[in-house]
Structure 1
Amino acid sequence: MALVIIAIAMLMRVASSRCAPVCHLGYPTHGTEVSGHDEDLIHFSLNLEFLEAEMFLWNAFGYGLDHAAPELVNGGPPPIAPQKANLDSLTRNITGEFGLQEIGHIRSIIRTVGGFRRPLVNLSAANFAMMMDEAFGHKLHVGSLHSALLGYVGANSFLIGYLSKRLVAGLLGVEDAVVREYLYERAAEVVWPYNHTVAEFTSQISELRNRLAKCGVKC
């Protein structure tokens, strides 16, 4: 009986291999892979990827791309005044994963459209304090919050090549969703040593991003 079952299974496998179509995933047989226009748009966003990678890595681990992925910096200058953040274990783990994800983003961009030297990024507390002052419209006495802009949503509709679109689709990850959930859970908490809640900071930073980006609401 066992031999009969095995024989039937083998016959069914042979029949299915002859009849079932084989799907080959690939790229279009015509069209543009990556246009020069695409390269310009994606290279602009590469600047932001470098910024985010350095910010997340330094915040979580106390080191940046020079240690984590030195082959990506291509001789570019190190960031200005980075420092490890005082984070609880959950926030540190999330931030660290974001940093590692940004390394993957940079590699994907370089592999698809080429890259350039890491730009100089200012991660100093004074620079972020200036950003927060602008967001609130007045000087805050202490400040070191981080903010990074994402350029892919606006650029996506202007891309031409199918490889460019596939690249950007892969880069549009879940960072914003994770951060927003994290912020919503703590919306009513007061950010020490300020007299402003997490919700107030989030709202003011979003308004600043809208003003800087122009042409409609971006967040």
Structure 2
Amino acid sequence: MIRVTPAFRVSRRRALQFGLGATLASATGLAPVPRAYAQDEVKDEDIFRFALNLEYMEAEYYLRGTTGKGIDDSDAGPKAGAVAGGKQVRFDTPAIGEFMREVAENELAHVRFYRKTLGSDAVDRPAIDFDAGFAAVAKAAGLGADFDPFGNQMNFVLGGMLFEDVGVTAYAGAAPLLKNKDFQAAAAGILAVEAYHMGMARSSLYRMGEDAWKAANAVSDARDKIDGPEDKDQGIRVDGKANIVPSTPDAIAFTRTPQEVLRIVYLTDQKGVSKGGFYPNGMNGTLKST
């Protein structure tokens, strides 16, 4: 289990004063699209390639945790980058193991969908580093130097929550940029699946008890550090009660622009960064700089 540190027991706004540095990134609510990613400057294929980069990471994470191995070479592309970290997780609760295996199958299906849809324009899997990425996340959130997302089922679901929260808001943010109605329909369908995943991960963590609440909320606080002065990220327990669905006061999912998603996966709050964190050599494709 995760060792709870005193950092978990401070208020969210107080946590933002700790200087968590290069951590996760901002979860912004219905944010305007930055000029660099304005609708008339981005092609649908650019957005799908961007999404494929994210799906590669999710598929690798869940496949390694549930099967002990990642994506087959035939699904990764001829010049695929290497993947560091990951191992098969022991699931003490059979149902959670079943949940995670279903998610792994979904994420692999997403990779195959994007590769099929993009055809020769599909990007290969970029280099992915789970070891360095989660080490930085754990340090920022106060999870302890020995935190291992593949060490037990609670840690694994916690890592999954990190990805699923990002995935939902990334798809919600990308929807207005897509021009092709078929692409819009596909993105909406994948958004729904990612939202199912997120609800499962957050509710599973909530049922695990106080250690899981505190760990998940610490990750949320770390993300909030660099999303500006407003409090836009939400943990799984807020005001003494469950908060399974992070949303605006109108119960609308938060959105992230591509730039904000890149800050999360590169683990930086700086502009103009094109690699780092979970992607040591950066993403492949046009949308690759914060």
Provide the TM-score with structure 2 as the length reference: 0.53
The verdict on how the C-alpha distance between 1:40 and 1:96 changes in structure 2, with shifts beyond 3 A counting, is same
Measured on the aligned residues, the alpha-carbon RMSD in Å equals: 2.3
The answer to whether the 8 A contact 1:60-1:96 is kept is: yes
Q: 2:209, 2:44 → 1: CA distance?
A: 38
Q: CA–CA distance in 1 between the matches of 2:53 and 2:85?
A: 18
Distance, in Å, in 2 between the alignment partners of 1:47 and 1:87 is 27
Q: Is 1:59 equivalent to 2:65 in the alignment?
A: yes
Q: 2: CA distance between counterparts of 1:46 and 1:213?
A: 24
User: Is residue 103 of structure 2 the alignment partner of residue 103 of structure 1?
Assistant: no
By how many angstroms is 1:98 displaced? Answer: 0.7
Tell me if the contact between 2:55 and 2:110 (Cα under 8 Å) persists in the aligned partners.
yes
- Alpha-carbon separation, structure 2, partners of 1:103 and 1:87: 20
Among 171, 174, 177, the residue aligned to 2:199: 177
Equivalent residue of 2:100, what SS?
Answer: helix
Deviation at 1:181, TM superposition (A): 1.5
- Give the unaligned 5+ runs of structure 2: 1-40, 150-158, 234-245, 247-290
> CA separation in 2, counterparts of 1:100 and 1:37?
28
Matched, 1:140 2:162: no
Would the aligned equivalents of 2:42 and 2:177 in 1 still touch at CA under 8 Å? no
**Aligned residue number for residue 223 of structure 2:** 209
C-alpha displacement at 1:206, in angstroms?
2.1
Judged with a 3 Å threshold, the aligned counterparts in structure 2 of structure 1 residues 154 and 211 are, in CA distance, closer, same or farther, namely: farther
- Report the 3-state secondary structure (helix = DSSP H, G, I; strand = E; otherwise coil) of the residue aligned with 2:148: coil
User: Cα deviations across residues 124-169 of structure 1 (Å, max 9, x unaligned)?
Assistant: 2x54122111123xx7232123232312121112222101111111
Counterpart position of 1:168: 187
Q: Secondary structure of the residue that 2:128 maps to in structure 1?
A: coil
CA–CA separation in structure 2 for the residues paired with 1:141 and 1:120: 24
**What is the one-letter code of the residue matched to 1:80?**
A
Query: 1:42–1:109: 8 Å Cα contact kept in structure 2?
Result: yes
Q: Give the conservation status (yes or no) of the 8 Å contact 1:129–1:140.
A: no
Distance 1:95 1:48, change over 3 A: same
State the shift of 1:212 in Å.
5.3
SS at match of 2:52: helix
Q: Which amino acid aligns with 1:209?
A: R
Q: Does the 8 Å CA contact 1:77/1:118 hold for their aligned counterparts? A: yes
What's 1:121 paired with?
128
The amino acid that maps onto 2:81 is P
Contact 1:109 1:167 in 2 (8 A): no
| Structure 2 letter corresponding to 1:157 | P
Q: How many percent identity over aligned positions?
A: 23
Further displaced range: 209-218 or 155-164: 209-218
Task: Report the CA distance shift for 1:123/1:154 in structure 2 as closer, same or farther (over 3 A).
Answer: same
Structure number with higher relative contact order (C-alpha < 8 Å, ≥ 6 residues apart):
2
Query: Cα–Cα, structure 1 residues 107 and 36, in superposed 2: closer, same or farther, change >3 Å?
Result: farther
CA distance in 1 between counterparts of 2:231 and 2:109 reads: 30
Structure 1 unaligned spans of 5+: 1-34, 189-196
Of 74, 78, 84, the residue aligned with 2:77 is 74
Q: Structure 1: how far apart are the matches of 2:226 and 2:177? A: 20
The CA deviation string for residues 176-215 of structure 1, in whole angstroms up to 9 with x for no partner, is: 1111221121232xxxxxxxx1111111222333445669
State whether residues 60 and 93 of structure 1, in contact with CA within 8 Å, keep that contact through their aligned partners in structure 2. no
Q: In 2 relative to 1, CA 213–44 (structure 1 residues): closer, same or farther, beyond 3 Å?
A: farther
* TM-score (ref. length: structure 1): 0.69
One-letter code aligned to 2:204: Y
